[in-house]
Structure 1
């Protein structure tokens, strides 16, 4: 099973944002720092999930276990419902993508266990600022 650690971050809310994605397992070790433009922190968390799902699908990974320190994203995926209507389209996109895997799991983890994805998200914020 492939383990996928995701994190979204913003410098300001909204502000320059980034997605950090760390994928490991079965000889795989990938790091992605993806600038997201100016959005809110919660939006960045959802975009990190979507980008990670897309990367996993592109690489034809069949069984994935996602880890996030975002309680909002974890709860939304678990319940297949976003309380805030602003996030509903992002959640719908993520759920559609997640159903394309043979096995998909999402687990909440504390921030201290998500340091690599957090560092990548912060790196992406800095890359965003360079593009301005």
Structure 2
């Protein structure tokens, strides 16, 4: 059983953003984070889940993901995202990330648990610290190409 705790952050929404992830399996513990110069909170919440799942090396694992994002948890647990796929993600944001998520999601037995954010949940609080810190690393922030291309209506960056 693998537990993944996630959080995303964006200052300005859109603005500089980051994600934080904790993976825990028995005595194994790993933290991940990354930041982007221009993105949204929802993109970072979803990317945190993707990065957590990508860090699992062996397929077929039982995974519980803890997230404070109703956007992510409800989209999967209420099966909205599967309807979006059937409609080609018409009028839905973050198609690129949802496609990445679905590719890795199907490799494992995943369940989501929503937790209230900023409510003294130790792992959620740590993920928040990781996400915010990543969003502030101005000198090494990556480019969220899909978001910026959409925001700039496909203009060359």
TM-score by length of 2: 0.74
2 CA distance for matches of 1:37 and 1:100? 30
Alignment RMSD (CA, Å): 1.8
Structure 2's unaligned 5+ residue stretches are: 85-90, 142-157
State whether structure 2 residue 132 is matched by structure 1 residue 122.
yes
Does the CA-based 8 Å contact 1:77-1:95 persist in structure 2? Answer: no
2 CA distance for matches of 1:51 and 1:25? 16
State whether structure 2 residue 27 is matched by structure 1 residue 27.
yes
Q: Quote the offset at 1:87 in angstroms.
A: 2.5
State whether structure 2 residue 106 is matched by structure 1 residue 106.
no
Superposition pairs of residues 84-95 of structure 1, within 5 angstroms: 85-95=92-102
The DSSP-based 3-state class of the residue aligned with 2:107 is coil
State whether structure 2 residue 20 is matched by structure 1 residue 13.
no
2 CA distance for matches of 1:55 and 1:37? 23
1:74 maps to which residue? 73
Q: Which has the higher helix share?
A: 1
2 CA distance for matches of 1:93 and 1:75? 17
Q: Quote the offset at 1:14 in angstroms.
A: 0.7
Does the CA-based 8 Å contact 1:81-1:91 persist in structure 2? Answer: no
The DSSP-based 3-state class of the residue aligned with 1:93 is helix
The DSSP-based 3-state class of the residue aligned with 1:20 is strand
Structure 1's unaligned 5+ residue stretches are: none
Deviation readout 1:25-58 (Å, 9 max, x if unpaired)? 31111111211331011111111111111112xx
Does the CA-based 8 Å contact 1:19-1:48 persist in structure 2? Answer: yes
Q: Which has the higher strand share?
A: 1
